[in-house]
């Protein structure tokens, strides 16, 4: 007859083999963080930009098999449980893909584009999303 220790080991090995143990650990971590989170300080609403950024990060995490991290991101960010459609995401970012780029996360394609771009002497001018809504600064 199996001892309690052997039974625990068998259950752990089975859960690990099925990929469930890590998911359970991630879910527990997310719940602990949620319980410890200061509820008096409300989170900002999930803006359209944050929704897209979180989705790019989630796609990257899942592609690299960082599923537990992705589950914590989803729980903490209030990101919808169901991932956004990739074509929708590409359209929102005004990205056109070829067949080979569809096999990797959009973040890889975006990074590759910027690393290999020779426009503007290799520099890209970035403007914060909130800058367009902000009142003019003292230098304006």
Q: Give residue 88's domain range.
A: 47-118
Give the separation between CA 3 and CA 72, rounded to whole angstroms.
35
pLDDT score, position 94: 92
Cα separation values, 30 from 7, 70, 95, Å: 27, 11, 33
- Mean predicted confidence (pLDDT) in 10-20: 86
- Mean predicted confidence (pLDDT) in 82-99: 92
Give the tokens for residue 108: 């890889």
Query: Alpha helices, DSSP H only, in 3-47?
Result: 4-18, 20-36
pLDDT score, position 137: 44
The answer to whether residue 86 is domain-embedded is: yes
CATH of the domain at 61: 1.20.960.40
The answer to whether residue 88 is domain-embedded is: yes
Least confident of 54-63, 85-94, 111-120: 111-120
Percent of the chain with pLDDT strictly greater than 70: 80
The answer to whether residue 31 is domain-embedded is: no
What is the four-CA torsion angle of 46, 51, 57, 63, rounded to 10 degrees?
Answer: 130
Give the separation between CA 102 and CA 27, rounded to whole angstroms.
30
pLDDT score, position 128: 73
Give the separation between CA 137 and CA 140, rounded to whole angstroms.
5
- Mean predicted confidence (pLDDT) in 59-67: 93
Q: How confident is the model at residue 132 (pLDDT cuts 50, 70, 90)?
A: very low
Give the separation between CA 9 and CA 126, rounded to whole angstroms.
52
- Mean predicted confidence (pLDDT) in 75-104: 90
- For residue 130, pLDDT over 80 is answered with no
The answer to whether residue 135 is domain-embedded is: no
Residues 6+ apart with CB under 8 A from 86: 59, 102, 106
The answer to whether residue 40 is domain-embedded is: no
Contact between 58 and 79 under an 8 Å Cβ cutoff? The reply is yes
The answer to whether residue 132 is domain-embedded is: no
> How many domains does one find in the chain?
1
The answer to whether residue 26 is domain-embedded is: no
The answer to whether residue 21 is domain-embedded is: no
Average confidence score pLDDT of the chain: 81
């Amino acid at each position: 007859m199996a001892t309690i220790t052997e039974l625990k080991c068998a259950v752990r090995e089975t859960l690990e083999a099925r990929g469930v143990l890590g998911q359970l650990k991630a879910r527990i971590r997310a719940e602990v963080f949620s319980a410890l989170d200061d509820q008096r300080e409300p989170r900002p609403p999930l803006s359209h930009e944050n929704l897209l950024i979180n989705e790019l990060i989630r796609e990257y995490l899942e592609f690299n098999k960082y599923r537990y991290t992705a589950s914590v991101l989803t729980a903490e960010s209030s990101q919808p449980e169901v991932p956004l459609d990739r074509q929708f995401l590409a359209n929102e970012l005004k990205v056109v893909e070829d067949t080979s780029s569809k096999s990797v996360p959009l973040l890889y394609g975006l990074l590759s584009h910027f690393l290999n771009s020779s426009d503007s002497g290799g520099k890209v001018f970035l403007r914060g999303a909130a800058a367009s809504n902000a009142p003019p600064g003292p230098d304006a």
